[in-house]
Amino acid sequence: MRPEGDARACVVDAPGGGPAACALALIHPVLSAPKYPKGLAARIHVVATEPAYRRRGLARSAVSVLLEALEREGVTLYGLHASEEAAPLYEELGFTRGPALMRMTKLPQARDGGAG
């Protein structure tokens, strides 16, 4: 990841090589306000742990390091969508539950070629 880019990641290496866990965040601008002085927010998009390495605290470590790095850059607003299983971890890290996610998929309309 490039330091001037909008993505940040933390990867925990497996003992034999390759990734054991990772956390990825995308940084995006928001209007500055007292709680967002640099106008930076981050959405954590991916937190994953290889099945063989689960229940060892690796996801917690990856997210914690990622949050520390984002904080050093001036990010003060964070968002993520958590599974029910993962929600307690994020609550321990300071996240609070909010309203349900709203989502829309908008596909191009098929054109039938007929007059209409």
For the segment 48-68, what is each residue's pLDDT rounded down to a tens digit? 999 999 999 999 999 999 999
Q: Is 55 left (phi over 0), alpha (psi -120 to 50) or beta?
A: left
pLDDT of residue 21: 97
Q: What is the pTM assigned to this prediction?
A: 0.81
**For the residues of the chain, what is the DSSP string, one character each?**
--TTSSEEEEEEEPTTSSEEEEEEEEEEE---BTTBTT-EEEEEEEEEE-GGGTTSSHHHHHHHHHHHHHHHTT--EEEE---TTTHHHHHHTT----SPP-----PPPPP--S--
pLDDT of residue 25: 97
pLDDT of residue 101: 67
pLDDT of residue 97: 86
Least reliable range by pLDDT among 16-20, 24-28, 48-52, 112-116: 112-116
pLDDT of residue 43: 94
- Label residue 108 by pLDDT band (50, 70, 90): confident
C-alpha to C-alpha distance for 27 and 91, rounded to whole angstroms: 21
Strand partners, 33: 36
Output the six-digit token pair for 105: 């998929």
